[in-house]
Structure formats: C-alpha cells, structure tokens
C-alpha cells in the first residue's frame, strides 16, 4: 500500500467516527448563532469650502499681480514684448501669457524687410564707406560680405539706405558690354 492510499483510509476512519458520534448524540443538527449585521456608524464629512468664482481673486499676492499686469499693459502700448522683457527682467513667454490673460497687446516689433530699430546709424555709415572702398578696389559683393563679415541682407540694406550703386555680377557684364559697343 502506498502512502496516499493509507492517508485516505485514515481520513475515512475519522469521518466514520464523527458520523457515529453524531448519531449517538441523537442525530439532530444543532443551530448555531449566525452573523448579525451591524451597520457602520455614520461618518461626518466636513462642510465643503466655499469656492471662489473664477473671476474673483482675493489676497495681497493677487493684488500685486494685478498691479504688475496693469504696469506691463501700460508699457505694452509703446514697447514691444522684447523691450518690456529686457527692461523688467521677465521672460517673454511669461509676458505673452499675461497679455492673453489680461487681454492687452504689445506694440508690434519690426519684422521682415522693415528697417530695424536695432541698427546704429554711425556704424552703418562706417560700413557704407568700407563697402564703397572695397567696391572701388574691384571686389565682388560676395567678397565684400566675407571681408567685412556681414550677410547679404545687411549689405543690401546699407546699399539701399545710402543709395550706393553696387551692381551684381550679371548687371556689371551687361553694363560693360553696352559701354564697349
């Protein structure tokens, strides 16, 4: 006989002994006391805090924020976002967010082909002198740009500003062929 069969036989003998004891006691089922449900006590929740409407702000910090926004809105009438940022030391993205929240706009900056306010007239005059000197020396536009260290946009802007004649290579060939004929 193996171990498993022996353990089953022992368990069966215990069950038979329990049945015999049950029938010896009269063979009646005894009713035991069951579980009685007792509900949990009522939880008292705190009253919800009064919500402040979105447009209404309270406190000294919000008041300072409103005052600062009013100052920036006043500056924005005559200054660009970059200029306000440099003057107050506040990042530009913070200023743009504030302008959207407080509903004001900054003065438009110079973009595209407009004359930028960031140029210096005296420096431009010196550049114009150097450009005309290098042109008279026989350099091309590209060589002048490389020699001075400026870009084509700056060169064109200075040529227009000081009404300097510096034809492009193709225009010089046409002019020289007309003169020789």
Structural domain boundaries, residue 66? 60-102
Residue 45 corresponds to which tokens in the numbers above? 């929740």
Q: How confident is the model at residue 1 (pLDDT cuts 50, 70, 90)?
A: low
Question: Do 94 and 125 sit in the same domain of this protein?
Answer: no
Residue 130 corresponds to which tokens in the numbers above? 């150097």
95 found inside a domain: yes
164 found inside a domain: yes
Query: Is 108 within 8 Å of 81 (Cβ atoms)?
Result: no
**What are the Cα distances from residue 60, in Å, to 63, 70, 101, 103?**
5, 15, 19, 22
Q: How confident is the model at residue 91 (pLDDT cuts 50, 70, 90)?
A: very high
42 found inside a domain: no
pLDDT at 131: 94
Q: What does the DSSP 8-state code read for residue 47?
A: P
Q: What does the DSSP 8-state code read for residue 114?
A: S
pLDDT surpasses 60 at 69: yes
46 found inside a domain: no
Dihedral angle sign, alpha carbons of residues 117, 118, 124, 130: negative
Q: How confident is the model at residue 128 (pLDDT cuts 50, 70, 90)?
A: very high
| Residue that is written with structure tokens 């082909």 in the block | 113
> How much is the average pLDDT of 43-47?
87
137 found inside a domain: yes
pLDDT at 180: 59
Query: Is 89 within 8 Å of 72 (Cβ atoms)?
Result: no
H or E element at residue 67:
helix 60-76
pLDDT, averaged across the chain:
84
Question: Do 98 and 130 sit in the same domain of this protein?
Answer: no
Determine if the pTM surpasses 0.85.
no
5 found inside a domain: no
The count of structural domains within the chain is 2
What is the three-class DSSP state of 11? helix
49 found inside a domain: no
């Amino acid at each position: 006989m193996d171990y498993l069969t022996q353990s089953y036989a022992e368990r069966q003998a215990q069950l038979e002994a329990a049945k015999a004891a049950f029938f010896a006691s009269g063979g009646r089922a005894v009713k035991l006391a069951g579980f009685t449900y007792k509900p949990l006590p009522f939880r008292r929740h705190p009253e919800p805090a009064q919500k402040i409407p979105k447009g209404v702000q309270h406190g000294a910090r919000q008041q300072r924020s409103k005052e600062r926004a009013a100052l920036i809105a006043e500056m924005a009438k005559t200054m660009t976002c970059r200029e306000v940022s440099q003057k107050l030391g506040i990042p530009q993205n913070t200023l743009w967010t504030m302008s959207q929240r407080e509903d004001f706009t900054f003065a438009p900056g110079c973009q595209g082909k407009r004359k930028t306010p960031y140029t210096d007239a005296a420096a431009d005059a010196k550049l114009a002198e150097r450009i005309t000197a290098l042109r008279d020396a026989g350099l091309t536009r590209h060589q002048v740009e490389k020699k001075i260290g400026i870009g084509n946009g700056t060169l064109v802007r200075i040529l227009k500003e000081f009404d300097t004649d510096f034809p492009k290579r193709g225009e010089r060939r046409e002019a020289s062929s007309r003169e020789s004929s």
